[in-house]
Chains A and B, each alone.
Chain A
Amino acid sequence: MSQLKPAVNSKDHVQGKNEAPLELVEYGDYQCPHCGHAYPIIKNVQRSLGADLKFVFRNFPLSEMHPDAFNAAVAAEAAELQQKFWDMHDIIFENQQKLDMISLFFYAKTIGLDLERFKNDIQKSTLIVKVEQDFESGVRSGVNGTPSFFINGKKYNGDWEEDAFNQYLKSQLSVT
């Protein structure tokens, strides 16, 4: 079974407690409709599992298929520099049909980013490299499309519709 490489580390975007018994990692593409479908499901799963779940998002933009996905990923990384990664991640998924540059700036403004700084940050090569490194780590980990999920480091190939996903995660809770 495919293993998450590298393991979750300080470069990752993490929601939840570090010591949570369940770790869910998503490799996602902001312009991918399946990821858009997964977005509210993950929110609900997080609510349902509470402190037992830690959620991590890594970038896996398929740029040829989704021409705005890479820019959106960089925009979310730029928001991280103002401690607002998850606000940007959320607003992008909630508006994923409009991800052109003007829209990304509008979302940045909506969540209260310093726009001058954001404008500079999205051109930083370090952020571009970060997104590329996420992609490469996904390939290494056996990601074959988006969204791909890893639960406690192992690739999850099962059903991720809400009830099934919730049930599976809860079943893993008793294993750990």
Chain B
Amino acid sequence: MLALETFAPDFELNCTPDQKLKLSELRSKKIILAFYPADWSPVCSDQMSLYNEMLKFFSRHNAQLIGISVDSKWCHLAFSENHKFHFPLLADFEPKGAVSKLYEVYDEKEGESLRALYVLDEKGIIRWNYLSPAGINPGADGILDALEDLDKSKSIQS
């Protein structure tokens, strides 16, 4: 995984069939990047459904959640509609896995993203990361702790 305290590389991917989302456009918010192996798989569905319930907790910390997998924009659309997700899923589809590779969370053997989390601060610096075993849903406690630590360190500085 990319090291903490380094700059998160910029990228642009489809978030809907006709819209692209550029990471650098989201500065001023904390970003949670959730790389996951595959739409529709049981563990990914559980993990993303949990995070979908967590959005109000994330927004308390001024944080935006973004899911990323190698599935296509149309697959993401169906997955998202079916599960009533209220956060963007980015299609790391062509060239396949390019962003996952950039973030060092690509599984060459399976041709999928690993199950990995990054938390970026408002300036786009990586402040927390976590690589989960592919079959294990990491939950959200690590993300919340990371967001809280960021807010705490900020209030100490100011």
Which residues of chain A have a CB within 8 Å of any CB of chain B? 2, 62-65, 135-136, 139-145
Contacts and interface: CB of A to CB of B under 8 A. Distances in A.
Contact of A140 (B52, B138, B141): B141
Interface size of B as a range: 10 to 19
Contact of B141 (A62, A64, A142): A142
A56 B139 CA distance: 21
A145 B141 contact: no
Interface stretch (B16-24, B43-51, B61-69): B43-51
Contacts of B49: 62, 64-65, 145
A144 B139 CA distance: 4
Interface of chain B, helix or strand or loop or mixed? helix
A135 B86 CA distance: 19
B131 interface: no
A58 to B, nearest CB: 15
B23 to A, nearest CB: 25
B57 A136 contact: yes
Nearest to B54: A139
B60 to A, nearest CB: 11
A140 B143 CA distance: 10
B53 A142 contact: no
Contacts of B52: 64-65
10 contacts: A62-B49, A64-B49, A65-B49, A65-B52, A139-B144, A140-B144, A141-B141, A142-B141, A144-B138, A145-B137
A143 B139 contact: yes
Nearest to B145: A140
A142 B140 CA distance: 7
Given A144-B47, A145-B50, A65 B144 contact: no
Q: Which of A62, A135, A139, A142 has the most CB of B within 10 A?
A: A139
Given A140-B144, A144-B46, A144-B47, A62 B53 contact: yes
B84 A65 contact: yes
Given A143-B139, A144-B137, A145-B49, 11 more contacts: A62-B49, A62-B53, A63-B53, A64-B84, A64-B86, A139-B57, A139-B139, A140-B141, A142-B141, A144-B46, A144-B47
